[in-house]
Amino acid sequence: MHPKALLDESASLIEKVFKFDHPADAVVARHFRENKSLGPRERATLSDTVFAVLRERLKFEWLARSGSGSKWRRLAILGFPGDRDFLKSALTEPEKNWLDACAKVGDADFLAPHRHNLPDWLAQALREQVADELDALAACLLRPAPLDLRVNTLKQKRDAALAAVRGAGLSAEVTPHSPLGIRLDGKPNLARLPAFANGEVEVQDEGSQLLSLLLAPKRGEMVADFCAGAGGKTLALGAAMKNTGRLYAFDTSAHRLDAIKPRLARSGLSNVHPVAIAHERDERIKRLAGKLDRVLVDAPCSGLGTLRRSPDLKWRQTPETVAALSALQQRILASAARLLKPGGRLVYATCSLLPQENEFVAQAFEASHAMFEPLQASSLLAAAQVEDAAGLCSAEGRFMRLWPHRHGTDGFFAAAWQRKA
């Protein structure tokens, strides 16, 4: 595609995404389905441009004020990746001069919002927690996340899986905290990786891997992944159970549960039972009350811990949506807790950075559920052979609290309890 046409296509796609009525990756995927003539390189350029603009929206919008032409074209020019000569071949002389002027603007010329690229309410909420680390956190959130794999212990050990990944020509290291993780350099095509095709490794962020280690299910137990989604944690739990016992994967979206099936086929697991439910009080859940050994609640949340992957979330979420999610999270956690038998373990988790979805929900649960005894996340992680378990938790070790700039993972929170006998 000619650079001018590619730039025009980028501008059109940015305008669609910036309606913020659907997740950015869904809008991009739909655009690609509707434009099948786009080749792999063109799709990569379009996607990279959109996500660069989403990450640095406030900075780019400030720079764009001095340009000419449509706002969307100016944003596309600023976010366009790669070769500047290729880009400039699509620009008018005034646009070239404007782009050169933008390149000369230094960090000292930007206000804090332009550097952080966070809405004011979110920047303030994060500053209240990390204080003078906000610059480091904001800078980290502007960088794309690495690609992490979890080794399927049902089929392979990590050392052998790492050797297989490297043997396929990929650059990879073990993850710093999870004993199950491998971190890849770049974004290779995993479909061509034999270890992925045969189910020895599965895509899962290191932080998410730690959730299954917190729950620590054992052979023969009855376990539930209460909000299973596409099943990454379900697969990890099934492998930890050595493909024994019974593992329920609950979700309100049958479509999301369908996404588990090809992953299950690769994994070799046969102990997983996907169950689509209408809501957290579904009759199929009530029938299991008091029967389960362990339950993981990775609750629906704002996703603000995943901004490296989904930068549109910072523009789509608001204090009002967070408040609504907090109420939903409390209802879901209370419903999931009914499944536990005496002595059973409950883990609540989110991929949010906000206390309203994390500590506040855990504290509200404890205040109304005296039969559940708090567990120390740091002790559970240490027992699971997680490196620097204490450093992954709040000061007193009560909650797991992962920060992208400190730990190199997505932002995660987790709390654990045991039902009293």
Q: Which residues are catalytic?
A: 351
Instruction: Please enumerate in sequence order all residues whose Cβ is within 8 A of that of 36, keeping only pairs 6 or more positions apart, or say none.
Output: none
**E strand segments, 351-399:** 372-375
Ramachandran assignment for 372, one of left (phi > 0), alpha (psi -120 to 50 degrees), beta (any other) = beta
Phi-psi sector, 307: left (phi>0), alpha (psi -120 to 50), beta: alpha
**Spatial CB neighbours of 375, under 8 Å, sequence gap ≥ 6:** 345, 416, 417, 418
Nearest alpha carbon to residue 412 among 272, 208, 250, 221: 208
Q: What is the DSSP letter of 294?
A: E
- Could you tell me if 224 and 333 are in contact, meaning their C-beta atoms sit under 8 angstroms apart? no
Instruction: Indicate the residue type of 403.
Output: W
Contact 168, 195 (CB under 8 A): yes
| Cα(281)–Cα(199) distance, integer angstroms | 34
> Coil, strand, or helix at residue 385?
coil
Residue where the block lists tokens 């979700």: 251
Residues contacting residue 321 through CB under 8 Å, at least 6 positions apart:
302
CA distance 359 to 362: 5
DSSP characters over 248-270: EEEES-HHHHHTHHHHHHHHT--
CA distance 36 to 54: 24
DSSP code, position 179: T
Report the alpha-carbon distance of residue 271 to residue 241 in Å, rounded.
9
Q: What is the SS3 assignment for 110? A: coil
Q: What is the Cα–Cα distance from 361 to 18, expressed in whole angstroms? A: 31
Cβ(147)–Cβ(184) under 8 Å? yes
Six-digit token string for 144: 């794309």
